[in-house]
Structure 1
Amino acid sequence: MHKFPYEIDQTEFKGRRVLVTGGTKGMGQAILHRLHNAGATVASTARSAPVEHPGLFIPADISTAEGTAKIVDTVIGELGGIDILINNVGGSVAPGGGALGLSDEDWAYSLNTNLMAAVRLDRGFLPGMIDRQDGVILHISSIQRRLPLFEATLAYASAKAALSTYSKGLAKEMGPKGIRVNTISPGFIETTAATNLINRLATQDGCSADEARDKLMQSLGGIPIGRPGRPDEVAELAAFLTSNRAMSIHGADYTIDGGTVPTV
């Protein structure tokens, strides 16, 4: 069970049905456990099943239309719909080499994973939310929507920028129908995957893990608080934005990056 360094109201999300995509690792796992610990009925999806998982799990490739259709059908069949949708899945597997190193396939993968997965799931669950005049959608974007890195993640950054723009437009449409839509844009969050990357870089460069972490932070221009963020910190922001404590927060994009983005 995920541990949180603060007391949680175990009834805050009682009666609320939540789907977190990519809820088996990193930020998604932290968000899933945070809401589960607060009383939510939770479901998540990923390509492979986790060792331990609360609630409903649907194995699916979210980057495909078939995968998202399977998720929608299963969740509606098992839970009757959802009240909170957290589109967390994202990432890049593109090679280095900048813009000219990216193929059509690299662009298609980034767009399908980081944009179209959310679009398709929103489209699948919104009719039920509209019928109930109630629902919350949270999109996990990235600071790369404003601070793109070109070496290997230009397609990823572009897709996340599109996700943020889509989220704002969706918020304008859905607000009058009782559905809140917000976005979180994390910076460098030290997930298990990030820790593994740090260790690989340390081995590759013959330096300590702390030195490798510092090099990664400097590649972003530095992090003023002096460290990457933690998954549980993102989870706490997600819990606030999807709760009734944030009823008037709508169409917003919250950056959580330790001060990395240097502009207003």
Structure 2
Amino acid sequence: MFRTLAPPDATEFAGKRAIVTGGSRGIGAAVVQRLLDGGASVVATARTVTDETPRAATFIPGDISTPAGVQSFAAAALRDLGGADIVVNNAGAARTHLGGITSIPDEEWLDALALNFLSAVRVVNALLPALHEAGPGSAIVNISSLTAFTPTPAMAHYGAAKAALNAYGKALALELAPAGIRANTISPGNVLTPGADAIRQDFADAAGVQLAEITAGVPLGRPGDPRDIAEAVAYLASDRAQWVSGVNLNIDGGEFPVV
């Protein structure tokens, strides 16, 4: 069980303007709340608002899997905030195909790339002028997945898209470093979210085991909580990480050794 932490510094992100994609539930909602708790003004987007969506944030519904959707959201977010200091690309989703790689339809490869990779590229492109205007100390955090390092045939399309996101994040960090803008990536493991639970249930059903058995082998004794990822985002977005850029931080309770 996630241990309750001391309240965050409510002034850490005072005056900072944050934009979070996929911010309506799960990891995204936890990130939005953590940035709000640190004093940031936050705009979030997803297709629909949920009961998890923090009400103190401005929520802009939309579909950022398309160029037009990104442009519409980015323009609305900048109008609301007047600029941007922190961008968190969390939007992502995929379906399992237990029949293996050849059972993944062509359109789902394209959908996986559009939402899990190209949306981040397009969001950054749309918001980069605002980040440059905000100046040194601005930060981008991309949420990837350990599926990029430990691919499975049933989710090859998702893993490939996240691997592309990882490579993009490294290049982005190099390009933006002279401007003092940092770009980092987080790769979560088995975190308890509605979307990830549905995927794990598919694997559990196929293996004939209980859902809890899928995460029973996590060395630190529990699956991840969205707040585990949100705390890492808060660190990477803050001045505490002022000399950290181009990192891909694996957060998985020690489950997936990656060299």
Give your verdict on TM over 0.5.
yes
User: CA offset at residue 223 of structure 1?
Assistant: 2.1
Pick from 144, 147, 163: which aligns with 1:144?
A: 147
Does the CA-based 8 Å contact 2:184-2:236 persist in structure 1? yes
Deviations 1:4-33 (A, max 9, x none): 532211111000000111111000101100
Does the CA-based 8 Å contact 2:32-2:57 persist in structure 1? no
Which residue pairs with 2:247 in the alignment? 252
Specify the SS of the correspondent of 1:75: helix
1:173-252 matched pairs, under 5 angstroms: 173-195=175-197, 211-214=210-213, 216-217=214-215, 222-252=217-247
Pick from 53, 59, 62: which aligns with 1:60?
A: 62
User: CA offset at residue 131 of structure 1?
Assistant: 3.0
Specify the SS of the correspondent of 1:173: helix
Which residue pairs with 1:5 in the alignment? 5
Specify the SS of the correspondent of 2:153: coil
Q: What is the CA–CA distance in structure 2 between the aligned matches of 1:179 and 1:15, rounded to whole Å?
A: 17
Deviations 1:15-68 (A, max 9, x none): 000011111100010110011011000110011123452221111011111111
Q: What is the CA–CA distance in structure 1 between the aligned matches of 2:246 and 2:105, rounded to whole Å?
A: 33
Which residues of structure 1 form unaligned runs of 5+?
A: none
Q: Once the two structures are aligned, what percentage of the paired residues are identical?
A: 39
Does the CA-based 8 Å contact 1:180-1:250 persist in structure 2? yes
Which residue pairs with 1:170 in the alignment? 172
Q: What is the CA–CA distance in structure 2 between the aligned matches of 1:201 and 1:154, rounded to whole Å?
A: 14
Does the CA-based 8 Å contact 1:182-1:252 persist in structure 2? yes
Q: What is the CA–CA distance in structure 1 between the aligned matches of 2:22 and 2:38, rounded to whole Å?
A: 19
Specify the SS of the correspondent of 2:94: coil
Which residues of structure 2 form unaligned runs of 5+?
A: none
Cα 1:66–1:229 shift into 2, 3 Å: same
Q: What is the CA–CA distance in structure 2 between the aligned matches of 1:9 and 1:259, rounded to whole Å?
A: 28
Q: Matched residue pairs, number?
A: 254
Q: What is the CA–CA distance in structure 1 between the aligned matches of 2:121 and 2:199, rounded to whole Å?
A: 30
Report which stretch shifted further, 165-174 or 93-102: 93-102
Specify the SS of the correspondent of 1:182: strand
Residue type at the aligned position of 1:179:
I
Q: What is the CA–CA distance in structure 2 between the aligned matches of 1:143 and 1:244, rounded to whole Å?
A: 26
Residue type at the aligned position of 2:182:
R
Q: CA RMSD in A?
A: 2.2
